[in-house]
Amino acid sequence: MVKTILITGSSGLVGNAFKKISRHYEKHYNFIFSTSLLCDLVNYEESLSYFNKIKPNYVIHLAANVGGLYKNMNYKVEMLEKNLLMNCNVLKCCYAVKVEKCVCMLSTCIFPDDTTYPIDESMLHNGPPHASNESYAYAKRIMEVQCRAYNEQYKTNYSCIIPTNIYGPHDNFSLEDGHVIPSLVHKCYLAKEQGIPFEVRGTGKPLRQFVYSEDLARLIMEIIDTITCENIIISPNEEYSIADVALLIAKEFNYENMIVFNDTFSDGQYKKTADNKKLLSYIYNKSDKSSDFVFTDIQNGIKNTVDFFKKNVNQCRK
């Protein structure tokens, strides 16, 4: 039987990755790609009407109000309220139309600031998040609590995926509101166009794990039929500093000798090292399935991202 999968937030980074890989899964799944133009998830009545029309078997909830460090610091009310409303409405609609499985997207940035490393799935609520993104973090944490509440009270099958920093084609390349890789791609492009230094805000020392958007989509499809009512961190093993990433981006523009770091800006959280043991046990250690999955290395991932930006600079989100 072919299952219908509703993808919310399909115009975004991960949604576009699902569009690209979906053809490989068409024998078993019918994908419905939703955007805010088709359904405003902040509006419950509109959302319920849309869910009743689609009647999905599975929902992969990607829609969110997201941004980089400075958007999180400057728009705390919007980051909290829009995400709370969207997440609550999606889960209520999933229950109302009897969705078999819902997979919700969290982020490792919502983990406690004061913690031990590596962080694992059990540590999500062990303390407050970093102050720079507390509104977004608490909205996402509440979604995890809501998933568990539904599972416990109504015996639903709602799970949360917790990826590290996602990047790739179709990202938001905004200089102020984008995540670190896309915003640096845009900034380096402009710096070379104008013949000025490629300025990176902060010291460049913070460490991050980056997951390529198509890898994330493929991994969700790898485990979607086995994940049951639990949280799973999705991350490669490697960590890279912001300086490492800036250098890789600059090399794609042949501009690596023009990088400067402006340490008058905040670095945010220094590290968020995540433990991916549970993920690896799902995709490699199952007796009934094998996997040949390999993470995209960051050099190729950044090359693909920069190539996409260069080709689509006039129409991509920025």
DSSP state of 133: G
SS3 state of residue 104: strand
Cβ-contact 188, 250 below 8 angstroms: yes
Q: Tokens for 125? A: 């609520």
Paired with 211 in beta bridges are: 166
d(C-alpha 264, C-alpha 63), whole Å: 33
Distance between start and end Cα atoms, the chain: 41
Q: From the candidates 29, 70, 136, 158, which is the catalytic residue?
A: 136
Cβ-contact 305, 214 below 8 angstroms: no
Cβ-contact 16, 10 below 8 angstroms: yes
Region label for 8, one of left (φ > 0), alpha (ψ between -120 and 50) or beta (otherwise): beta
d(C-alpha 162, C-alpha 110), whole Å: 9
d(C-alpha 67, C-alpha 179), whole Å: 6
Residue bearing tokens 């023009």: 258
Residue 49: other Cβ atoms inside 10 A: 13
- Reply yes or no on whether 136 is catalytic: yes
Exposure on the CB side of residue 267, measured as CA atoms within 13 A: 15
d(C-alpha 141, C-alpha 73), whole Å: 18
Active site residues: 136
